[in-house]
Chains A and B, each alone.
Chain A
Amino acid sequence: SQQGEEDPQALSIQEGENATMNCSYKTSINNLQWYRQNSGRGLVHLILIRSNEREKHSGRLRVTLDTSKKSSSLLITASRAADTASYFCATDAIGSSNYKLTFGKGTLLTVNP
């Protein structure tokens, strides 16, 4: 079953606007990661946030984590057409017998020039 679920499924914005994507998960986690995938390509790691962290920044990316609500958000500021891609959250659950990441279905972000 999917652990992480992204919301919205699709998001269309204009260049220069901010884009916010959300991820909800069901069980307690060690870490949460965000990945990006351009159409027909492999995934690229964006940022990792640990369960004891609340916010993290990387360039134009800002990730928050609320473990009480079991949710995370990814904010992309001043978006560019090149940010057009699918964005996935991935979690690894506490208590898993073996390490494996569980990916959500992704948010498809379209940034219009």
Chain B
Amino acid sequence: DGGITQSPKYLFRKEGQNVTLSCEQNLNHDAMYWYRQDPGQGLRLIYYSQIVNDFQKGDIAEGYSVSREKKESFPLTVTSAQKNPTAFYLCASSIEGGPGNTIYFGEGSWLTVV
């Protein structure tokens, strides 16, 4: 089935650690996105990529890094510089990055700092 796969679903991070969230899509979409969602809040854009080997910072990129080496993969690393990383992380994709394109979401990953 076509879709977006995020892993792991639940992840625990110790203080000072970097962790990487995986996102893979088999929809052949050019554009991919990472959003952060805090409880009772909307989504905030962390990074987005409109094409392979290119990505742009979103509204809250500090403390995060991404790569886009393959069309189908867009991993997000939460670095130790992110002081409040506990949140629900959503990966998404669209056919292209222009306006009016439907965004398809993965099932999300819960990250908790312990």
Chain A interface residues toward B at CB < 8 A: 2, 4, 30-31, 33, 40-45, 48, 50, 88, 90, 92, 98-106
In angstroms, Cα B106 to Cα A42, docked, is 6
Q: Is residue B108 within 8 Å, beta carbon to beta carbon, of the partner chain?
A: yes
Q: Is residue B2 within 8 Å, beta carbon to beta carbon, of the partner chain?
A: no
In angstroms, Cα B103 to Cα A30, docked, is 15
A45, B102: Cβ atoms closer than 8 Å: yes
Which residue in chain A gives the minimum CB-CB distance to B88? A40
A48, B97: Cβ atoms closer than 8 Å: no
Range of interface residues on chain B? 20 to 34
B42, A101: Cβ atoms closer than 8 Å: no
Knowing A31-B99, A31-B100, the reply to whether A42 touches B107 (Cβ < 8 A) is yes
Contact of A104 among B42, B50, B110 (CB under 8 A): B42
**Contact bitstring B31-55, A, C-beta under 8 A = 1, else 0:** 1010100001111110010100000
A48, B100: Cβ atoms closer than 8 Å: yes
Q: How many A-B contacts at CB < 8 Å in the complex?
A: 63
A105, B100: Cβ atoms closer than 8 Å: no
Q: For A31, what are the chain B residues with a Cβ–Cβ distance below 8 Å?
A: 99-100
Knowing A2-B42, A105-B40, the reply to whether A100 touches B104 (Cβ < 8 A) is no
Can you list 25 A-B pairs, Cβ within 8 angstroms, ordered by A? Answer: A2-B42, A30-B100, A33-B102, A33-B103, A40-B108, A41-B107, A41-B108, A42-B92, A42-B105, A42-B107, A43-B105, A45-B102, A48-B102, A90-B103, A92-B99, A98-B56, A99-B97, A99-B98, A100-B48, A100-B58, A101-B103, A103-B43, A105-B40, A105-B41, A105-B42
In angstroms, Cα B101 to Cα A31, docked, is 9
Question: B61 to nearest A CB, angstroms?
Answer: 12
Question: A35 to nearest B CB, angstroms?
Answer: 8
Q: For A4, what are the chain B residues with a Cβ–Cβ distance below 8 Å?
A: 42
Q: Is residue B66 within 8 Å, beta carbon to beta carbon, of the partner chain?
A: no
